[in-house]
Chain A
Amino acid sequence: MKKGPPLFPGVVLLCGSLVLFCCGDPPPTTPDPYTGILRVAALDTLIIDSIRIELDDVMLGRFRNPHVLREVVIGIHRVLVSSTSSGAASRVVEVFRDRQTDLFVPLLAGGPYVGNVAPLFAARASNGDTVSIQRERGKAVFLIFFEHT
């Protein structure tokens, strides 16, 4: 009776190649050429609760301040940073390829931002009246700060 070749050497070869395959270096990951690094820093705030990059993605969670975001798509983004203790602020920032962009957000505990009491003032207006924020309690107030250039 004719015997076929023993299976043994084949199994050894197969296992060997598997080991080689598993232990070999992973293919090198090339960084996305169209991304940069964005470092978000807020003033006087220890924890940032969310960073939202408009039209791209929302990063929810609690981040230490400052927080470095990698592989941010290059271009101009509006970034909304919020913190439970200090409100929220948005900035427009340009992220450049392979470079770190520093984004400073003036989130200050108790500052004139969302969730905090608005600073009081009284001033004379162009129509001769005195505008007082205190006197407007009980009403909604819309302030427009503008510069004439």
Chain B
Amino acid sequence: MIAAVNNTASESWLNSYRGQTGISYPMIFDTTSKIFQSYQVGPQYGNTPPTYVIIDPKGVVRYRVDDTFNRTPEIIETIRRVLKDP
């Protein structure tokens, strides 16, 4: 399952963004920043979104990165590994 979590955009912006980009995965509007806080995302935790988190089928965090380098290859590699070796 893929989900995007956002705490700053309005619901209408999220919907129009979804329409423009054709994103099919759910986008969560974290109005109270509760999810951001529980995952310790934000400058108060010393990091800046975007933050990518991969959770394995047992519910354990297997990957986490929060910088703007191109992480696409290692994210794909990690998802493959997690799916192969849960």
Which residues does A use to contact B, with CB under 8 Å? 78, 87-92, 104-106, 108, 111-119, 121, 123-127, 129, 131, 133, 136-149
Q: List 14 A-B contacts (CB under 8 A).
A: A106-B45, A126-B11, A131-B28, A133-B59, A137-B59, A138-B57, A140-B1, A140-B54, A140-B55, A140-B79, A143-B52, A144-B5, A145-B41, A145-B52
Question: What is the minimal beta-carbon distance from B26 to any residue of chain A, in angstroms?
Answer: 3
| Chain B binding surface SS class | mixed
Task: Using A87-B61, A123-B30 as known contacts, say yes or no to A141 and B3 having CB atoms under 8 A apart.
Answer: yes
Task: Known contacts A111-B40, A119-B39; decide if A125 and B26 are in contact (CB<8 Å).
Answer: yes
Counting from the closest, the 3 A-B pairs by CB-CB distance are A125-B26, A148-B9, A119-B38
Nearest to A128 among chain B residues (CB) is: B26
B interface with A by C-beta (< 8 Å): 1-9, 11, 13-15, 17-18, 26-30, 34-36, 38-41, 45-47, 49-67, 69, 75, 79, 82-83, 86
- Using A125-B3, A144-B4 as known contacts, say yes or no to A91 and B46 having CB atoms under 8 A apart: yes
CA distance A58 to B4 in the complex (A): 33
